Amino acid sequence: MSTKHFKELKSLTKDELVMKLKETERQLFDVRMKKATGQLTDTASIWRLRKSLARMKMIQGEGSSAQG
């Protein structure tokens, strides 16, 4: 699963990656708020979103170091 997800992220353009990154950060915020209010049923979603953010930031960093 993660390898497939990584390949999909790597194929995104720089702008698409930034949009996806912001969207995932917003989702993580929403999930954390649900956890704080006791409405969260899938606690593993926090872990998945954090890992996804880390992958995106790593890919974003690779792109900036390769350009300059």
Determine the pLDDT at residue 42. Answer: 94
User: 68 near 19, Cβ under 8 Å?
Assistant: no
CB 9 within 8 A of CB 56: yes
pLDDT per residue rounded down to tens, the chain (68 residues): 467 778 888 888 999 999 999 999 999 999 999 999 999 999 999 999 999 999 999 999 987 766 54
Q: For the chain, which domains are there?
A: 2-6+14-63 (1.10.287)
Question: What is residue 65's predicted lDDT score, i.e. its pLDDT?
Answer: 67
pLDDT at 52: 93
Residue 6: what pLDDT? 82
How far apart, in whole angstroms, are the C-alpha atoms of residue 47 and residue 54?
11
